[in-house]
Amino acid sequence: MLAQYLLAGLTVGAIYALVALGFAIIYNASNVINFAQGEFVMIGGMASAGFVEAGLGLPLAALLAIGCATLVGILLEKFAVERARGASVVTLIIITIGASILLRGLATLVWDKKIHPLPGFSGEQPIVFAGATLLPQVVWVIGVSALAVALVWWFFNRTLTGKAMLAVSHNRLAARLAGISVRRVLLTSFALSAALGALAGILIAPISFTSWDVGIMLGLKGFAAAILGGLGSGPGAVAGGLVLGIVESLGAGYLSSAYKDVFAFLIILAALVFLPDGLFGRRAAERV
Amino acid sequence: MSSSPTASSAGAPQSGSRRGLLALAIFAALLPLALPNAYTYEIAILVGINAITCVGLNLLIGYAGQISLGHAGFFGLGAYGSAILASRYGWPPLLSLPVSTVLVGALAWLVGRPILRLRGHYLAMGTLGLGVIVSIVLATEDRITGGPDGMAVPPLKVFSYAIGGEKTWYWIIAAAVVLAVWLAQNLIESPRGRAMRALHGSEVAASAVGIDAARHKLHVFVLSALFAAAAGGLTAHYSGFITPSKSSFVHSIELVTMVVFGGMASTFGAVVGAAVLTTLPQVLTTLKEYEMVTLGAVMMLTMIVMPQGLVPTLEKAIAAARRKPV
């Protein structure tokens, strides 16, 4: 039983980790908490389901869906976040929440309010592994998420663009003086987060289905995972996502499935009270 | 850190806010003349209920600079507390309402101590988590709360005379709004209110001049929870039926949006924000499937164009027009 719960936890945890990574990337580049992050997940799932229903093959549908979400991310940065530069934290939160309502509304117009399935990437035949039965999709979720996280790490540590983005997150002014285009970094961060969110949405859709409103809870959980790991920390976001997924799954399995989401938020509250800066966050002093 | 947009710190705040309060009372007294039917009364009552919550929330967000994304939790607890005491234990609503409000205040005091040590986005997460937990508990404990389908609530009774009808409720809510605004204004202009606003500018600087930051934050947090719980209790007895959706994250967000839309650090802004954003969805229902898209777009546009909110932006525009004689 334990293996089964851990595996289930790891699967949703991987999804939370991808969403949390999206939060962290945007936060690092712009200090904005993008509450529309969950909608990228929704767009990923809904668009790929839509393309598949229209007769496209799954790989092409998935690629197009990621493309759609990335475009939405870029538009969101260009037409909303960039224009509201210098607004207060709460104002920016309201803007991204407005964006998420807008995107949910658009989703009901472009698609509908029904629940859509997406076929598993390699069939639905369960595999028995280490005493636990698992869907092949679980392997896909964990494998592709791990690959995506590795790619993100490589991007930030080994490529010039990635390093430029890190530089902006450390000191915007210094980065600008060194000739880094902060505007392009902002755009890239939104594009990258949107792509990661959409990927998460496509990966999870064959397991939990997708609909216009899946983004709300997934977005909240991703935010929770990002906070748990320490805002702005990439490894923290991934660890936070996995911890959250496993706690949730164990809580639902051994204690009460009705309170699944409560466990996730209780662990967050406990973590916040005892580690106010997250698992990997650095303590920041206020400048007076 | 730019200074907070508190217009009341300059000029003659005392007389200005008194005039505002008087204007609000007169407006509330005259409004029924423009309300043709029960439906419009209902919307006016909803506006009033949201205004009470937002005036309290604005003290926390706009003046003390502490965000809460979970205030619908307090609203829901206030509503369910009074509903449960009245229906399951047979308390008179006139007693269950204040008792429930005070209980929610006590709860806010308990959870506020650890939560308010958090700052910025971490505080947002903490309050959000609290709100989500409250909402799930209310939806799951169906033997007490009736679950996701909600529960019936007995009407408010004064000496065995049941208060019903939109018109009576309008006057109760209108009086409560004026009372809430009066309380908030008094607090803001008191030494305690000044300490609170200092926290908004900088907590460290406030502490350096001898302000007990933790205590002041806790007090305003509890006060805003009391406002929300009272509004929740009033809603429960007014509508006679409540569901857990009143305590949901979405409702928390709606409340914060009203405060920010109307203008942070402006009590009348909170009232205006509640009025506009409560009425807007009623108007937008005529747009049917375009309702959500329009609401989202309006939220985004107003916040991009007027990041300080409606009332402060208008105040500034009027002040600028006065300075520049044509």
In this prediction, residue B4 has a pLDDT band, given cuts at 50, 70 and 90, of very low
Residues of B in contact with A259 (CB under 8 A): 136, 140
Cα A168 → chain centroid: 21
Residue A88's closest CA among B60, B315, B206, B263? B263
ipTM of the complex: 0.84
Alpha-carbon dihedral B173, B174, B177, B179, rounded to 10 degrees: -100
pLDDT band at residue A287, thresholds of 50, 70 and 90?
Answer: very low
The residue of chain A nearest to residue B5, with distances taken between CA atoms, is A88
A109–B67 CB contact, under 8 Å: no
Interface residue of B250, B304, B306, B313 to substitute, partner A, most A CBs within 10 Å: B304
Q: Which of B81, B56, B70 is nearest to B115 (CA)?
A: B70
CA distances from A263 to A1, A3, A72, A257, B129 (A): 19, 19, 32, 10, 10
Helix-strand-coil percent breakdown of chain A, rounded to 5? Answer: 75, 5, 20
Return contacts of A66-72, CB within 8 angstroms, 24+ apart. A66/A195, A66/A198, A66/A199, A66/A202, A68/A43, A68/A198, A69/A40, A69/A43, A69/A44, A69/A194, A69/A195, A69/A197, A69/A198, A69/A201, A70/A191, A70/A194, A70/A195, A70/A198, A72/A39, A72/A40, A72/A43, A72/A103, A72/A194
The pTM of the full predicted model, rounded to 2 decimals, is 0.87
List CB contacts (< 8 A) between A277 and chain B: 122
Say whether pLDDT at A18 is over 50.
Answer: yes
**Nearest residue of A to residue B122, measured between CA atoms:** A227
For chain B, the residue count is: 326
> What tokens appear for B284 in the block?
């937008």
- Please check whether residue B154 is in contact with residue B233, taking contact to mean a CB–CB distance below 8 angstroms: no
Put simply, whether B282 touches A (Cβ < 8 Å) is no
Q: Is B307 on the interface with A (CB under 8 A)?
A: yes
> Out of B120, B132, B140, whose CB is closest to A265?
B132
Label residue B150 left, alpha or beta by phi (over 0 means left) and psi (-120 to 50 means alpha).
Answer: left
Is the per-residue pLDDT at A227 higher than 50? yes
Contacts of B133 in chain A (CB under 8 A): 262, 265-266, 269
Task: Select from B1, B4, B118, B122 the residue whose CB has the most chain A CBs within 10 Å, as the one to mutate to test that interface.
Answer: B122
Give residue-wise pLDDT tens across range B43-99.
999 999 999 999 999 999 988 888 899 999 999 999 999 999 999 898 988 999 999
Tokens of B210: 């001898």
Q: How far is CA B90 from CA B41, B83, B94, in A?
A: 29, 10, 11
Q: Which residue of A has its CA nearest to B207?
A: A288
DSSP result, A162-195: HHHHHHHHH-HHHHHHTT--HHHHHHHHHHHHHH
**Which residues pair with residue B242 across a beta bridge?**
B151
Q: Which residues of A touch B250 (CB under 8 A)?
A: 216
Q: Three-state SS for A41?
A: helix
Residue in A closest to B58 by C-alpha: A90
Residues of B in contact with A258 (CB under 8 A): 136, 140
B39, two tokens: 């439906």
Pick from B114, B129, B297: CB nearest A268: B129
Which residue among B129, B257, B303 places its CB closest to the CB of A84?
B303
Scan for tokens 């404990």, then name that residue: B141
Q: pLDDT tens for residues A125-165?
A: 888 876 777 888 888 999 999 999 999 999 988 999 899 88
Alpha-carbon torsion, ordered B254, B256, B259, B263, to 10 deg? -110
pLDDT per residue as tens digits for the range B8-28: 444 344 566 778 888 899 998
Selecting from A84, A276, A288 the residue whose C-beta is nearest the C-beta of B202 gives A288
